[in-house]
Structure 1
Amino acid sequence: MRLWLLLLLLFACPAYASEPAVDTLPPELVRLRDEGRLTVRALWAWKLVPAATATAAMELRAMGLDLIGADRAQLAAWVREAEEGTAAFSPAQREVLSGLLAMMDSGDAAASADMLPADAPAAAALPVPGVVDAVPAAPDTVDTAPPAPDVADAAPPLPDVAEAAPSVPGAASGPAMYRCGAARTGVSDASGPAGPPVELWKLKVGDGPCTPPVVLDGLACFGSVDGHLYAVDVATGALKWKFFAEDWVDQPPAMAGGTVFFGNVVGDRSGDRHFFALDAATGSEKWRFKSLYYGVNSSPAMVDGAICFGAGKHVYSADPQTGDAKWSLETSDTVGTPAVSDGTAFFAHANRLTAVELGADAEKWTFRAGANITTCPAVSDGLVVFGSDDFNIHAVDVQTGVEKWKFGTGLIHHPAAVHDGVVYAVSADNLHALDAATGTEKWKVNMQRAGLKAPVIDGDALILAAGNFLVSLDRASGQERWRFEAGGEITSPALAGGVAYFWSEDGHLYAVR
């Protein structure tokens, strides 16, 4: 009788027969979660994050948000804001946020297998850290050299910094900066491919998303979330040297006077945050400037014998020879990439854009957008142009900060290019050409793909990244001239000597002519 009743209960009420839920997070992470100290950084160290987390973290950092340091409460708040439509997260960013939140809640690695990187071990197979309460060390790829180049790349083995033979001229011909100069207009002095491009070489380099490169004196330099700054010989496609900066390098460097300038930020590693100056020929360190808060969230500008950059809540002007700060100004929030024109720096911090004369004790003006400013400004013809999460391109007067016009475009996460009275801006899958004086649209091209990056102006052409493609368009009409397909989504290009250089998510730096 008792056996019959037991069987009846088992079949009629399956819940009684099921196993209790098992939390599949490693015990160390369960303890951190129970103590309210579990962050994305800890999940990353255990390789329990979506494959797109690094890309999303870089994009969110440009929006002033720290994904890697986020705990469950912060993730839940972002997911809720995304669902309510009060935060401008892209679909890919929402997917990453939801995946991270689900992993913290359930730790069900089997159910979330599609989130894991292809080479990540299962949670049960991960090594147990020596200290129970400590977050495990960063992934072991940090201190290893990048994979050897493909046979077709014909690049020699990677030398250590100390062994790198100086082959780059010590005296630079001129500064090279992100967005083609201190004013960030995107107007290139050097030329890119004129016709249908062909691949010159590609080099397997960088473990994780990399920044757009800058090119000067035969050297292409770029940073990576693997914590390195890389230098590649553009003539041969050989890796000259790499420098380990202890944490993420997620903003492009600047090059001038035989020196490479860049900073690092809080990422998935525990190193200190600094602004660095390296010898371009050898990769050896010249000096470092210690940064507080989240590190250097900006790409530097070289102007009038000084290097200008944002670090934490400060904007600095430093001596490029010694690293000594000449001037600084504290702001309300994390400072983004500055544009510098006629002795004035223009920079975003949260939803504010501020103008300040270098060396001054107070700002000239501050403009407030309706949401966080998501691009570095471009300064041209009396205007400062930038994008915001309020879904608008804004143009304000360079002297007063008074808004001249705004144009609604949707999500904008990449800077505009400005030249000859026209603003070229990307949003979602569209490229817009706007009259700089009025903000009216001259033409629009639907590129029919995600992953549009900031365009570069090359004479009468626009060259831009569109997903896996490098595309050239006629600047006057938007008519496509040519395209080149890489093996993965690509960064904005740097142009030099008729060649375009860019990094792709297939793990290669490309040179195409």
Structure 2
Amino acid sequence: MRTASGWKRWVGGLAAAGLLGACTTVPVYGNPVTAGPVQPPHHFFTVDWWRHLVSPTLLEYAPREHAQPAYDAKNERVLTLTRDGLVRSFDAEGTELWRYTVGNRFYAGATVEDGIAYVPGTDGVLHALDAKTGALKWKYVAGEALATAPVLAGDLVLVASQSDTLFAVKRATGELAWLYRRDPPAGFTIHRASSPAVRGQAAWVGFSDGTLVSLDLDDGGVRWEKALAPPGGVTQFVDVDTSPVLDESGHVYAASYAGGLYALDAETGDVVWNSVAQGITSLLMHGNVLVATGDDRLDAYLGDSGKLLWSQTLEERAGMEPVLVKGMLLVPAQRSLLFVDPRTGQSRLAWNPGEGISAPPRVVGGKMYVLSNNGYLYSLRLDGRSG
């Protein structure tokens, strides 16, 4: 049996195009733990090291790791939040330095700044940890399962719960500054939550009743709210679970799962344009191009007009946020990590390190950290083209 050390510089095995559009699905190679290396047609990355963090439990079906790895720039460490309820810190060589126990699986990753890691727990607690030692500095008991990576806005930490509440907590002390809550709808909803977008003294965040709300960061007061749910009394899956994105032209973009994609004036909430495409779960803005990822689709729009540039059908469920790096879109699609050409939407390569990938990768310079659904953390060196 090959060991991790024996394959330390293992070249990431990849499958050529075939996971998007009308192409026939091809085998997806790439698990360095259980299979030998398969040379890809292009060397997009190499796997420097991996660490096994979580083993499947008895009768566990389709394990999922949803929390994006976090990076501690001050101490040059990567932090993982895994379904066994543990926070772990690793150095650049993959040595575990500390761990902190929460006890419940995580819906979202941590946020690290100035040596402090803010950890959103499904135990209903926001934990602030010393990123160097793992020691608890303070905690805020929200009483609701926290479902988004904390967003830092001045002296506040913003985090949303699975129960349609946005909490604003003071970074220095962990005291509650304010909260904003909406009543969930009567119909079925998506098991996700919108992370707020922040600019200046304003925040924009979506809710499961199909509403996008703009809030004043000073006191949580409502600046405006806009219903993005489709007309006609639709009550099923109207969630605005996409994290809103902002452009430099004063627009904010968000999507209702059933109501489609919207571009709105960030100051007034007036609709600029609307696409009826349904099932959108995450957004990425780059320049004037908006990339929308959905359960079975990947689209690109012009931000100013809403013109559809390209659209591809996925043969597997995607739903987590794509990442743009070295001229490629990296799309976690549960069964694999897709490498997509952002100019055309065509899949170029795919990598499955075992049980697929649900969490977005974390890119730090020329390195990328990937947490697979089978509980492995991989450190990859990116060798692809830039641009």
TM-score of the two chains, using structure 2 as the length reference? 0.74
Task: Measure the CA separation in 1 of the matches of 2:289 and 2:356.
Answer: 27
8 A Cα contact 1:200 1:512, kept in partner: yes
Aligned residue for 1:241?
Answer: 98
Q: 2:263 aligns with which of 380, 391, 395?
A: 395
Report 1:274-423 matches (<5 A): 274-292=125-143, 294-311=144-161, 312-333=163-184, 336-350=194-208, 351-360=210-219, 362-370=221-229, 371-381=238-248, 382-390=250-258, 392-413=260-281, 415-423=282-290
Once the two structures are superposed, residues 51-108 of structure 1 have per-residue CA deviations (whole angstroms, 9 ceiling, x without a partner) of xxxxxxxxxxxxxxxxxxxxxxxxxxxxxxxxxxxxxxxxxxxxxxxxxxxxxxxxxx
Once the two structures are superposed, residues 427-468 of structure 1 have per-residue CA deviations (whole angstroms, 9 ceiling, x without a partner) of 233211111112121012334333353211225432222343
Aligned residue for 1:469?
Answer: 336
- Please state whether the residue corresponding to 2:275 is helix, strand or coil: strand
The one-letter amino acid of 1:262's match is: V
Task: Measure the CA separation in 2 of the matches of 1:459 and 1:197.
Answer: 11
Select between 470-479 and 245-254 the one with higher mean Cα deviation. Answer: 470-479
Task: Measure the CA separation in 2 of the matches of 1:289 and 1:406.
Answer: 38
Q: Say whether residues 1:261 and 2:126 are aligned partners.
A: no
8 A Cα contact 2:147 2:193, kept in partner: yes
Change (3 A) 1:457 1:324: same
Report 1:430-509 matches (<5 A): 430-451=297-318, 453-458=320-325, 460-490=327-357, 491-509=359-377
Which is richer in strand?
2
- Please state whether the residue corresponding to 1:416 is helix, strand or coil: strand
Report 1:167-246 matches (<5 A): 195-206=43-54, 209-217=65-73, 218-233=76-91, 235-246=92-103
Question: How far did 1:154 drift?
Answer: 5.1
8 A Cα contact 1:153 1:237, kept in partner: no
Q: What is the number of equivalent residue pairs in this alignment?
A: 317
Change (3 A) 1:331 1:410: closer
Structure 2: give runs of 5+ residues left out of the alignment.
Answer: 7-41, 56-63, 185-191, 230-237, 382-387
Question: How far did 1:485 drift?
Answer: 3.1
The one-letter amino acid of 1:451's match is: A
- Please state whether the residue corresponding to 1:249 is helix, strand or coil: coil
Change (3 A) 1:479 1:411: closer
Once the two structures are superposed, residues 390-438 of structure 1 have per-residue CA deviations (whole angstroms, 9 ceiling, x without a partner) of 151222221111222222333223x210121111011233211111112
- Please state whether the residue corresponding to 1:347 is helix, strand or coil: strand
Question: How far did 1:252 drift?
Answer: 1.4
Task: Measure the CA separation in 2 of the matches of 1:383 and 1:329.
Answer: 23
8 A Cα contact 2:178 2:220, kept in partner: no
Which is richer in helix?
1
Structure 1: give runs of 5+ residues left out of the alignment.
Answer: 1-149, 156-193, 266-271
Change (3 A) 1:454 1:310: closer
The one-letter amino acid of 2:157's match is: I
Task: Measure the CA separation in 2 of the matches of 1:249 and 1:229.
Answer: 10
8 A Cα contact 1:213 1:221, kept in partner: yes
Task: Measure the CA separation in 1 of the matches of 2:371 and 2:306.
Answer: 32
Change (3 A) 1:419 1:349: same
Q: Tell me how large the CA RMSD over aligned residues is.
A: 2.6
The one-letter amino acid of 1:420's match is: G
Larger radius of gyration: 1
TM-score of the two chains, using structure 1 as the length reference? 0.57
Question: How far did 1:335 drift?
Answer: 6.8
Task: Measure the CA separation in 1 of the matches of 2:259 and 2:378.
Answer: 32
Task: Measure the CA separation in 2 of the matches of 1:511 and 1:361.
Answer: 39
The one-letter amino acid of 2:44's match is: P
Aligned residue for 1:181?
Answer: none
8 A Cα contact 2:323 2:330, kept in partner: yes
Once the two structures are superposed, residues 249-268 of structure 1 have per-residue CA deviations (whole angstroms, 9 ceiling, x without a partner) of 21111100111102222xxx
Once the two structures are superposed, residues 206-238 of structure 1 have per-residue CA deviations (whole angstroms, 9 ceiling, x without a partner) of 3563412122322222323322223232x2123
